Amino acid sequence: MTELQGLLARIGAVEQRLRQAVAERRAADPNPDDQFRGLYLSDEAIDALLEGRREPFAPPEAADAGPSRLTALAAAAQLTDLDVELLLVAMAPDVDSRFEQFYGYLNDDVTRRRATVGLALRLCGLAEAEVQGRARFEAASPLIASGLVTVGDIERPLLTRSLRVPDRVTAHLLGGDGCDPVAAPLVEATTPVSCGDERLASAIAAGTGFVYLHEGLGGSAAAAAAAAFAASGRATLAVDCRLLPKPEELAETATALAREAVLRGAGIVAGPVDAGSCAALLARLDQVPVPLVLFGSGGWDPEWSRRQPLLLSVGVATRAERADLWRDATGEALAEGVDLAAETAHFTLSVRQINRAAEAAAQLARAEGGPIRAEHLRYGVRSQNAAGLEHLARRIEPAVGWDDLVLPPPILDGIRELAVRARRRDLVLDEWRMRPGGGRGMGVTGLFAGDSGTGKTMSAEVIAADLGMDLYTVNLATVVDKYIGETEKNLEKIFTEAAGVNGVLLFDEADAIFGKRSEVRDAHDRYANVESAYLLQRMESFEGLAILATNLRANLDEAFTRRLDVVVDFPVPDPEQRLLLWDRCLGRAMPRAADLDLEFLADAFELAGGHIRSAAVTAGYLTAEAGGRATMATVVAAVAREYRKLGRLCLEREFGDYLELVI
């Protein structure tokens, strides 16, 4: 006998009890010749219903069909034998429409075509006043708490209230595998990943029914819960609490989620939760016999629930787990020779973000008609950056590389070290456990000091390009505020948003907000020192990659220096470096005249790289207007314009024979 046949046999047994109830109803009827009998249901109609047994019901004696969805549901919801019989009585009209007419006849009301509480109790052989039976319809009872049966007509006395089985329950017992339409928009697929911590799986296996996970930056609490449920033989119902309705409208949704978890034999993992959603969810899910794992970025508040959860923390998946996730997500579409571990290890992404990033990378690769390459992976990672930071900083997609930097080798080594720290911090700080205490985060911070135009911003852009990240330059206009305390709030927003973004955060002109603390002479000094003290604390706990750039290093507070991982002093380029800069800034596309003397330009004019680039661009416009080639005259004229911008005099000892061209 199939599972469906076994269920129908159980309902066939309900039909047998109905036949007996109809016979007893007729025998006890004091007025069988009532001329208004037809308003309820005629004897002829009942006789027609009672004739034979409609297919596909099996004989009642075949009701014991062994393991089935019904027995699994009874175990998951902790239903008693009486609960199961009451469920079948309530569900019968949804399986065979004849039961509607039976129930209408027995209810003495043809419009009331579902079983009532009293009728269900009588069909199960219980007296209507028996406490054991009535208790099965209380709010905390398994049938009602799990949402398997709903009681309507609340304004009526208990015994005449109607019973209904939700369509999702009936469909499940008949073999359907859909999802409740109320719960479906909130449920998301989750990849089980242990995240390197087996305590959660051990707790679930030991019967712990309530857990709260503190989710760190890039954490994967839902994936860790799914792995724990899988280890105990359960499915996972992952709920995105950001899509929940308002707390006052949450009752129906919470009931649907509870019912879905019971039907699937699943554990529930829900988050991120806050005070409102957590209290509303727990008020409903506390009564359901399924494991519940909540997670959020904040700590657990004991006022949220009467139950005390097991408190654990979960971070990002391990490097090996992340590499496996990337490998599974990219599959055969990955180009040969791409080292997934090396290309993706330094990105802080949750399991869900990895899957989405891999999908974005695959889409771009298909658009270009080739396999997934390293640049596609980086594009996918950048696609997962939230837009919140763009309101506070300017996003720059890097367009330069290491070859574009013209700097002395020791300076290049310092810049490369900053990139190495960002790429290897998981290995050193986590796996090798070399993270210092005191609440220090995983952040990497560096200071680029030097005169204007010496390459500080470009170096930050090169680091971002090397790591496959975007560069975010902080706009001081969005940070500094004349009102006390507002600057700190703005900085907190920037640090919070930056921690959740795979990008490089650049504070240009950092001395404006990271200045020295001074002796307190008035209230202004005190609040200025509070601002600096806040920044000192916040830099300690920062989780991202931040670079401070300044041309006034002496103005920075010395306490910041200790918190910096790398300090790089950018020198003014020497003649050899200026020659390379002139050659690169003028480029290869712009035509050059034969008289263009780059060595003279490099030896004569002591300009930083930024000023050389500016002069080269000016020379380009002058050449374009003249319609010829870049001559020495146009380039020297561009240098003279740059000198005037800097407030410098055009002297003969620098311009030599070309001075007459600019006077």
DSSP string, 607-644: --HHHHHHHHHHHHHHHHHHTS-B-HHHHHHHHHHHHH
Closest CA to 252 of 336, 128, 166: 166
CA 423 remoteness from chain centre: 22
Least confident of 44-48, 98-102, 325-329, 352-356: 44-48
Q: How far apart are CA 407 and CA 419, in angstroms?
A: 16
Q: How far apart are CA 23 and CA 269, in angstroms?
A: 50
Closest CA to 7 of 173, 176, 164: 173
In 10 A of CB 123, how many CB atoms?
21
Q: How far apart are CA 348 and CA 429, in angstroms?
A: 14
Q: In the block, which residue shows the tokens 């604390």?
A: 537
The torsion angle over the Cα atoms of residues 648, 455, 552 and 563, rounded to 10 degrees, is 180
8 Å CB contact between 143 and 88: no
**Three-state SS at 42:** coil
Domains of the chain listed by start with CATH number: 3-173 (no CATH), 184-314 (3.40.50), 319-384 (1.10.8.60), 402-570 (3.40.50.300), 575-661 (1.10.8.60)
In 10 A of CB 631, how many CB atoms?
19
pLDDT single digits (tens) 454-502: 999 999 999 999 999 999 998 776 677 777 777 778 888 888 888 878 8
Q: Which amino acid is at 471?
A: L
Query: What's the angle, vertex CA 222, arms to CA 218 and CA 225, rounded to 5?
Result: 125
Least confident of 1-5, 161-165, 235-239: 1-5
DSSP conformational letter for 245: -
**Main-chain dihedrals φ then ψ at residue 163, nearest 5 degrees:** -115, 140
pLDDT of the residue at 65: 46
Q: Residue 631: is its pLDDT beyond 50?
A: yes
pLDDT single digits (tens) 247-291: 777 888 888 999 999 999 999 999 888 776 777 778 778 788 899
Residue 593 confidence class, pLDDT cut points 50, 70, 90 = very high
Task: Dig out the tokens for 436 from the structure.
Answer: 């210092």
Residue 525 confidence class, pLDDT cut points 50, 70, 90 = low
pLDDT of the residue at 487: 78
Peptide bond into 56 cis (omega under 30): yes
pLDDT single digits (tens) 50-84: 664 444 333 444 445 456 889 999 999 999 999 99
Task: Dig out the tokens for 315 from the structure.
Answer: 């971070």
Residue 619 confidence class, pLDDT cut points 50, 70, 90 = very high
Contacts of 337 (CB under 8 A, 6+ apart): none
pLDDT of the residue at 298: 84
